[in-house]
Amino acid sequence: MDDQFKLPEDCTDMREVRIGVDTTDRQLMELLDRRFGYMRAAARIKTDRSVVRDEARKAEVIGNARSDAAQRALPAEKIAEIWELLVETSIAYELEEWDGIRA
Q: What ranges do the domains of the chain cover?
A: 8-101
pTM for the predicted model, two decimal places: 0.91
pLDDT tens per residue across span 25-72: 999 999 999 999 999 999 999 999 999 999 999 999 999 999 999 999
Q: How confident is the model at residue 3 (pLDDT cuts 50, 70, 90)?
A: confident
What is the H or E stretch that residue 94 is in? helix 76-101
Please state the three-class secondary structure of 18-63 as a single string.
Answer: HHHHHHHHHHHHHHHHHHHHHHHHHHHHCCCHHHCCCHHHHHHHHH
Spatial distance between the Cα atoms of 96 and 36, rounded to a whole number of angstroms: 12
Spatial distance between the Cα atoms of 81 and 86, rounded to a whole number of angstroms: 9
Q: Top-level CATH class of 8-101?
A: mainly alpha
